[in-house]
Amino acid sequence: MSNTAMTSIGTGAPAASDIILSARDLAKSYGKTVALRGVSVDIRRGEVLAIMGPSGSGKSTLLHALAGIELPDSGTVTYFGPAPADRRSAPDAATARQLASQSGAPDAAAATHPRELTALSDNDRTRLRREDFGFVFQFSQLVPELTALDNIAVPLLLGGTKKRAAYATAYRWLERVGLADHAKALPGEMSGGEAQRIAIARALSPHPSILFADEPTGSLDSLNSEYVMSGLVQLAREHAMTVVLVTHEPTIAAYADREIIVRDGILEA
């Protein structure tokens, strides 16, 4: 495992087809507070990247810009993912391409469709986040009135999956996170660690190309944090997903392939 802080993708430039997300010269301010100062970073397909830094350093702002949640004041974010039509016609297309790539078939990246997030309309950016990205936050943000199974099925149903197929997939993800016996449990009946595992299953169930996790263990004790994080990384690797993780905990960042450190809105060399 290599954990190296850097201002670009790292030692030895990767081939263009290896890159799934590329940010260039990102700048962002909130009033007189400068959050990002010309940040550039490339993210490889299938890697787990940890963004570290002290509170207020700009690490969450960087994640939000990379995910298209917030637009930078200047700079670009380019996503090299499947074409929108591919996603709509085959919700599991990403998984099929990943398996083909792993088996020695032609490179899955060859069929990518570059999209500049900052140039998309609000509707197109929202659709991109729904179809290609998954999100896990510090608190599970489960819908309190829905069962664990219902919560996991929500993004599948919103993405157009038929109800029976959506719930079958949701139940398989419940099994994957070891909570099949919690299918009918409401969020208020779960521990913090259990709720976060349901949130991870919900985020991964549509097979996103990239999972963005903002302090996913920040509300958990150390034992649950490591259990949740090890499960998240294992599942993401099994499905060849890219993970972009924000954390201030070195023990959590240690699960990543690579670390970058943000301080005062700048990536440290």
Distance CA 82, CA 29 (A): 31
Q: Encode pLDDT of 191-220 as tens digits.
A: 988 998 999 999 999 999 999 998 888 777
Would you state the pLDDT for residue 13? 53
CA distances from 156 to 93, 97, 122, 143, 152 (A): 14, 19, 21, 15, 8
Distance CA 168, CA 60 (A): 34
Q: In what order do the strands lie in the sheet with 74-81?
A: 33-44, 19-30, 74-81, 113-116
Tell me whether residue 137 is in a domain. yes
Tell me whether residue 81 is in a domain. yes
Tell me whether residue 228 is in a domain. yes
Q: Encode pLDDT of 130-162 as tens digits.
A: 899 999 887 778 999 999 999 999 999 988 899
Tell me whether residue 10 is in a domain. no
Distance CA 46, CA 61 (A): 22
Distance CA 139, CA 129 (A): 19
Neighbouring residues of 242: CB distance < 8 A, sequence distance ≥ 6: 20, 21, 43, 44, 45, 46, 47, 48, 49, 209, 210, 211, 236
In the numeric block, which tokens belong to residue 155?
A: 């993004």
Average pLDDT, the chain: 84
Tell me whether residue 9 is in a domain. no
Number of independent structural domains in the chain: 1
Distance CA 159, CA 5 (A): 36
Parent domain of 40: 16-267
Q: Encode pLDDT of 29-42 as tens digits.
A: 999 999 999 999 99
Lowest mean pLDDT, pick from 15-24, 184-193, 243-252: 15-24
Q: What is the CATH number of the domain that holds 237?
A: 3.40.50.300
Tell me whether residue 241 is in a domain. yes
E strand or H helix at 174: helix 163-176
Neighbouring residues of 240: CB distance < 8 A, sequence distance ≥ 6: 45, 46, 95, 98, 99, 101, 102
Tell me whether residue 2 is in a domain. no
Tell me whether residue 5 is in a domain. no
Residue 112 has pLDDT above 60, yes or no: yes
